Amino acid sequence: MSLRALRRAVALVFALSSCVLHYWLARVRGPLTFEQRALWLQSAARGILAALGIHCEIQGRPPSQGLVVANHLSYLDIVILSAAMPCFFVAKTEIDRWPFFGKAARTGGTIFIDRSSRASSAEVADEIFERLRLPVPVLFFPEGTSTDGSQVLRFHPTLFEPAALAGAPVTAASVRYVLHGGEQERDLCWFGDTHFLSHLWKTLGASAFTAEVRFGEPRVYPDRRSAASQTHAEISAMRESEALVLQ
């Protein structure tokens, strides 16, 4: 058993307990607005990163509204991006059933989507359209799945539609893991059929690493397909330029 993993696991339990306590203390004053939920999630994410020993570096300016899209490497991305800015996530329905994390995601204002259902996609698009009116951005991963980081998969254009209809800005964001113990980024990525708990334990025992988040400039796109193709190109270019710097 890794002593480092065990130590971080204990720290994570305390961080999660603190999240729950702060939420209920806030609820004493009344129901939380969507904006307050996003701020609670940001505070919780920062506590979790501290517990895991993950340092986060931000390049560019995190947006305060509109739509944000990012490449997807692991469930860690959700914590990392939440710590970078208050936001609402769009996540697959399976996460809603995860112990604790599903409840935390729903509490933080996450919108859940069944990717196999067109009706669910339509309902989620309507919800995104409404959330775009708020001073908190909506974030989703248009690849539709997490990857090993070797490439940015094609972006699904469907959920870009609300931003195109609303004339809301879309911001591209790239996420990269830089490990300091000689491991590769792929070693922290959660992809394929890897079981969540076994991967989490491996992550808890990993060397210290830095999460680098780079934000592009907000842009308004005329339609969902151009938004998907251009943000895909932008994030791919950011990932490639970051890889060259690290070589």
The domain locations on the chain are 3-246
Q: What is the pLDDT of residue 192?
A: 86
The yes or no reply on domain 3-246 and CATH 1.10.1060 is no
Supply φ then ψ for residue 151, to 5 degrees: -155, 160
Q: What is the mean pLDDT of residues 20-27?
A: 90
CA distances from 64 to 80, 112, 215 (A): 16, 21, 12
Q: What is the mean pLDDT of residues 157-182?
A: 94
213 pLDDT above the threshold of 80? yes
Q: What is the pLDDT of residue 217?
A: 97
1 pLDDT above the threshold of 60? no
Q: What is the pLDDT of residue 13?
A: 93
Whole-model pTM: value is 0.92
pLDDT band at 231, cuts 50/70/90?
A: very high
Q: What is the pLDDT of residue 206?
A: 87
Contact between residue 50 and residue 120 where contact means Cβ atoms under 8 Å apart? no
Q: Is 112 helix (H, G, I), strand (E, B) or coil?
A: strand
Mean pLDDT over all residues of the chain? 92
Q: How far apart are CA 148 and CA 191, in angstroms?
A: 6
